[in-house]
Amino acid sequence: MYAVTGITGKVGGALAKTLLAAGLPVRAVVRDIERAAPWAALGCQIASARMEDAAALAAAFEGAKGVFILPPSEFDPEHGFPEARAVIDAVSAALVKARPAKVVCLSTIGAQATQVNLLTQRTMIEVALRKMPMPMTFLRPGWFMENAAWDIASARDSGLVASYLQPLDKPVPMVATADVGRVAAELLQQDWTGTRVVELEGPQRLSPNDIAAAFARIFGRPVHAEPVPRAHWEPLFRSQGMKHPQHRIRMLDGFNEGWIDFEREGVIQGHVDLETVLRDMVSRQA
Cα–Cα nearest to 145, from 242, 215, 216:
215
Q: 10-residue block means of pLDDT along the chain (286 residues)? A: 95 97 96 88 95 97 97 92 97 98 98 98 98 97 97 97 98 98 98 97 98 98 98 97 97 98 94 98 88
pLDDT reported for residue 34: 84
pLDDT reported for residue 268: 97
How many other CB atoms are found less than 10 A from the CB of residue 221? 11
pLDDT reported for residue 16: 97
pLDDT reported for residue 73: 86
CATH topology of domain 2-285: Rossmann fold (3.40.50)
pLDDT reported for residue 81: 96
pLDDT reported for residue 285: 83
Q: Phi and psi for 102 in degrees, rounded to 5?
A: -165, 165
What is the CA 259 to chain-centroid distance, rounded?
Answer: 19
